[in-house]
Chain A
């Protein structure tokens, strides 16, 4: 019996010992301010170098240390649920209002009543009780082959469901949050039955099975496999701003358009947003951080690499975004994206949208 117990003791010792050794990479992402006494823990589903630079600026300005956990939104949600009261999370940043809603409905956020932030962020881009606020905007639109279609042909999402688009549409899989949120607004506007019909028509107009990401859809249009790609605007902008000739050619051979639901309804807009975690013990610091993200510096760094649209009107546009055509934003409150999410997936499944 002895050697076995030794082995077990050895195993637990070893695992414990190695686990307890110092954290090798702690200082890499977030430079430690030696004198920092306060810590702000950020759970983020973004991973951009410009974000890191922005966080470093805030650390210096506010004299705090920022701990950042980057993961997919769903994983952050499960982590926070598991951590419960013990969660170190103070602020959550994630893309898509549908994701923000997931955090909120899991009870992981707390309302933030801030006059400054409340006044800065347009009403439909904040949760009505202050559970989350928009930081930047993103558009779901269409990159199309201008030799094949005019902007008129694609002016509304309904027109994509028409028969003349058979075999022309490229789009990614239905479980992607961008598609779920778009479908969320379609359900809101058309109702369940018409939304499912719409999805079924899109499926029958697809040039191929849903596959790859948004960028792959744009490339497929440039290569001629389809002529209409349903994509977020910044993927198209990033191709146009790429260092590679081939990428810029892809962007140049396509045109971007932001369709409406019906004429005059306005267009589907989504956000990257922030929420104060339910476990945040220094709400004032969290508010200070979110306010900082809504300054001109914050807006500029948040959108510089992502090519999102700044949330605040006066902020300068990131390079390349000026090629996105003007649009009128839908006035729908973004809370509906989350509320309709599971229904959207169910209707997609029934429509055969993989």
Chain B
């Protein structure tokens, strides 16, 4: 293992790993070497435990909500036929196009004490705002709901894959033995699929842990908020980096969990087992209930918030005229970041096939980057910039920004690629080699075609993620390179939510095309 990691051919992947890892390593180094100081002592004594507990509570509730939304929806759309199933099976991925902070703006407006829901309630009942209990969005569970409603599609995708990959024979056997649908789910479907699903949950939670925008807007004191606060209020970026260590540690635990769960998936499967089980039509009443459930999920996680934003935009007669340049910048930066992160993910996935040590390094580095809040990576980048003695403008700023995109999101690209690779029988690789195909030849003729479905998924996910990225873009973009996310955030922090709605909607719109494409791809892979 060590020998293969030290061979000359591993130099390029090691370099790429270093490139991806450098910003987060710099941030970690800043955290470790930061002097103690009064601020750190204050945080250690008074804030560290509350920040950490709040973060863990938010993540735990998020996990439960994501499972509750994704698993039933995936089970129903995978195994049963009911009105609207085809539509739901892809539309349930749409919330992925919503950034967490946009979801927070929309739901805060809908559910706030002055929002339409509570105002209507007061109008109908004649109560005052203190006469009734109403779910409080500005709380840990509220934040968990907001994050879960944008991230559950990741769990949905893995759950669909898990249910579709299940041994056809087991399910058919259970069915033919007369196992009722619910029993089928609890006794056969869920236990087999659970490790894969929990792997998906872990990854979604890493993303949730890195959130800052939504938590800050809702006033929930997570580690992400604490990190920014120790930077802004106390003026100590090093303390921020040190606090980020805790977050990176939590995220590493999730990554480890994901590995452990996925490790339980068992041995290599042969191709005929991936077939989607036959879909059984649901009886009328149950069919309507299934339609209602999927429709409700879509309404809450996508259509209600999007409609509210659209309504606000129309109501204030917002003009999109000066937003088009931002759309262009957003897409251009998205494409650059996607290209970079995708290539890095590809190198990670392929070049580490034969070395466990390299794989561990690559995974660790990518995961640390994925779990680190964009702010922390941005600070790492600024530190590197300082060493190089350059100004943050023009090509240099763009290069740094794209670098941070790569550092932050490579992990999101590695996952689909690795999942595709894992499904290929190991024997295939050996067969290729025994036929004398290796190197570039093997890559072009064997690996690339086989990886295509995963590669497309990876590219689309990366693009959507980078479109939504806020903190690093805010810190590193050069003059005149404002993105939609930057503009939306500027308005929202200025409490001009009405003006923030249009750029927010455009982010969602820009993300919809790749998300729909992704759904369509997933649908196709499934039918194969």
Contacts and interface: CB of A to CB of B under 8 A. Distances in A.
B1 interface: no
A81 B389 CA distance: 10
Interface string A189-230: 000000000000000000011111111100110111100000
Interface size range of chain B in the complex: 35 or more
Interface of chain B: mostly helix, strand, loop or mixed: helix
B166 to A, nearest CB: 36
B391 A87 contact: yes
Contacts of A14: 339-340, 343
B372 interface: no
Contacts of A27: 480
A71 B9 CA distance: 43
Contact of A211 (B46, B138, B235, B344): B138
Interface in A137-172: 172
A19 B490 contact: no
B390 interface: yes
Contact of A78 (B315, B322, B379): B379
Contact of A25 (B326, B339, B378): B326
Contacts of B47: 349
B112 A210 contact: no
Contact of A223 (B13, B114, B402): B114
Contacts of B316: 243-244
A342 interface: yes
A42 B495 CA distance: 23
Contacts of B136: 208
Nearest to B114: A219
A83 interface: yes
Nearest to A350: B46
Given A1-B9, A4-B347, A244-B315, A70 B390 contact: no
B293 interface: no
B184 interface: no
Contact of B391 (A70, A88, A222, A244): A88
Which of A20, A69, A180, A354 has the largest count of B CB atoms less than 10 A from its CB? Answer: A69
Contact of B129 (A85, A172, A213, A220): A220
A8 interface: yes
Interface in A39-89: 47, 67-72, 74-75, 78-79, 81-88
B402 A19 contact: yes
Given A25-B326, A220-B114, A243-B316, A1 B234 contact: no
Contacts of B481: 23-25
Nearest to A235: B495
Contact of A1 (B12, B218, B237): B12
Contact of A79 (B231, B339, B475): B475
B12 A4 contact: yes
Contacts of A5: 12
A222 B128 CA distance: 10
B395 interface: yes
A67 B129 contact: no
A188 interface: no
Interface in A68-119: 68-72, 74-75, 78-79, 81-88, 102, 105-106
Interface of chain A: mostly helix, strand, loop or mixed: helix
Interface in B344-384: 344, 346-347, 351, 378-379, 382-383
A213 B138 CA distance: 12
Nearest to A174: B233
B328 to A, nearest CB: 5
A224 B440 CA distance: 69
A86 B387 CA distance: 12
A37 interface: no
Interface in A216-264: 216, 219-220, 222-225, 235, 243-244, 250
Contacts of B480: 23-30
Given A342-B233, A350-B46, A69 B479 contact: yes
A7 B229 contact: no
B219 A173 contact: yes
A333 interface: no
A223 B119 contact: yes
Which of A82, A84, A244, A350 has the largest count of B CB atoms less than 10 A from its CB? Answer: A82
Contacts of A102: 235
A157 to B, nearest CB: 20
Contacts of B328: 24-25
A178 to B, nearest CB: 12
21 contacts: A4-B9, A15-B336, A15-B399, A18-B336, A24-B329, A25-B480, A27-B480, A72-B474, A82-B386, A83-B390, A84-B389, A86-B389, A106-B235, A172-B219, A177-B232, A209-B219, A212-B112, A216-B114, A223-B118, A223-B129, A349-B47
Interface of B: 8-9, 12-13, 15-16, 39, 42, 46-47, 108, 112-114, 118-119, 122, 128-130, 136, 138-139, 217-219, 221, 225, 229, 231-235, 237, 315-316, 322, 325-326, 328-329, 332, 335-336, 339-340, 343-344, 346-347, 351, 378-379, 382-383, 385-386, 389-395, 398-399, 402, 439-440, 443-444, 474-475, 478-482, 490-491, 493-495
A-B interface, 3 closest residue pairs, ranked by CB to CB distance from nearest? A3-B440, A219-B114, A211-B138
